[in-house]
Amino acid sequence: GAVVSQHPSWVICKSGTSVKIECRSLDFQATTMFWYRQFPKQSLMLMATSNEGSKATYEQGVEKDKFLINHASLTLSTLTVTSAHPEDSSFYICSARDPGQGKDTQYFGPGTRLTVL
Residues found near another protein in the complex (CB under 8 A) = 1, 4, 6, 32, 34, 42-44, 46, 49, 91, 93, 95, 97, 102-111, 113
Please state, in angstroms and rounded to a whole number, the distance separating the CA atoms of residues 90 and 21: 13
Residue 97: count of CB within 10 angstroms of its CB? 21
Q: CB-wise, 16 or 39, nearer to another protein?
A: 39
Query: What DSSP element (H or E) covers 95?
Result: strand 90-97
Give the residue among 22, 35, 21, 14 at the shortest CA–CA distance from 85: 14
Q: CB-wise, 48 or 116, nearer to another protein?
A: 48
Q: Three-state SS for 40?
A: coil
- Shortest distance, position 72 Cβ to another protein, whole Å: 20
- Shortest distance, position 42 Cβ to another protein, whole Å: 7
Q: CB-wise, 87 or 104, nearer to another protein?
A: 104
Give the residue among 9, 46, 52, 10 at the shortest CA–CA distance from 30: 52
- Shortest distance, position 16 Cβ to another protein, whole Å: 26
Q: CB-wise, 67 or 107, nearer to another protein?
A: 107
- Shortest distance, position 13 Cβ to another protein, whole Å: 18
